[in-house]
Amino acid sequence: MENKKVLLGMSGGVDSSVSALLLKNEGYEVIGTTLELFVGSSCCNVNTYIDAKNVCNSIGIPHFTFDYKNEFKKYVIDDFINCYANCKTPNPCIECNKYMKFGIMYEKAKELSCNYIATGHYAKTEYSEKYGRWVLKKSKAGKKDQSYVLWNIPKALIEHVLFPLSDFESKDEIRAIARKSNLKVANKPDSEDICFVPDGNYKKFLETNSDIKPKEGNIVNSKGEILGKHTGLYNYTIGQRKGLGISYHVPLFVLGFNKEKNEVIVGEEAELYKKEVIVTDINLLLVDEIKDEMEVEVKTRYSSKVAKAKIIQDGINIKVTFEEPQRAITPGQSAVFYVGDIVLGGGKII
């Protein structure tokens, strides 16, 4: 008999709450869990625990909280700080998914004799006859699809992951189900910020929680000419135009950094476009390795559209050659490769 026991990660929001309801209605034995990750974060504070527990009580499933604050600091916060210290722009959700939700939470699920874990992400898993394996796919949610932030989950886990919201096209449908079922979180607003920086001020977070402090240096163009002063490399992102404090005859944008010289490099918008990029820290989900050049679609940011490209693997790296040059490709962000709706894999932009 199939083991239909599932551990569901719950943030106290409407997505994970409706996921609990849907799974129960589909005959799964659901256990809700909220991971304690960071004191005062937007997704694991006293209110989120209470909301998640109340939802579980209302639909008749157990709920547990587990303390993983030390692990979260090690795998997510320390990586976040290290990226900024090295002039990279991280996406902490990707690390959290890899190590916490689809790493540590799966280990906890096995301890509790669960065959599955589930989350309220908008993504899809299914068995592909064509590829002879379980695959991660885009959901039907369009712009709200979250497959981009899931490229780094362990490949072997895909067949043990359930995404109950995979076939819904909008958040309105989810809220309607919650209202119909009298879930008190039906109208709870979405959390958009980095969970451990709930006020959105990541610069203040870095200054408070690390050795990163304001350090003035030069703003230079690609020829090395000094155009102004900056207040610390971590205060700038590639593609940034506002807040440079430079008066120039054409608009200037941040192109990159020289950490050794403590310089912010700026230039005209045309200089922001790149046709090639190298990606490392690869995780391939659809194939075990890329033996020949492949045509794929690539997303280089969560909010960006896919772009056509060719990829070729060179040892531990993948070289991406875009059909059309792409704007403001940013080291530290993820490049995620798609074959149709299926996530081929991804890696970190160098």
What is the set of active-site residues? 96, 195
Q: How far is it, in rounded angstroms, from Cα 207 to Cα 105?
A: 30
Backbone angles phi, psi at 165, to 5 degrees: -95, 10
**Do 190 and 181 touch, CB atoms closer than 8 A?**
no
If you count them, how many residues does the chain have? 350
In the chain, the amino acid numbered 173 is E
Tell me the Ramachandran region of residue 80: left when phi exceeds 0, alpha when psi lies from -120 to 50, beta otherwise.
alpha
260 contact partners, CB below 8 Å, separation of at least 6: none
CB atoms within 10 A of CB 83: 20
User: In the numeric block, which tokens belong to residue 238?
Assistant: 């590639």
Match 């709200």 to its residue by tokens. Answer: 144
CB-facing half-sphere around the CA of 131: CA atoms within 13 A: 16
Q: Which two tokens stand for residue 74?
A: 């090690």
**Calpha distance 255→264 (Å, rounded):** 8
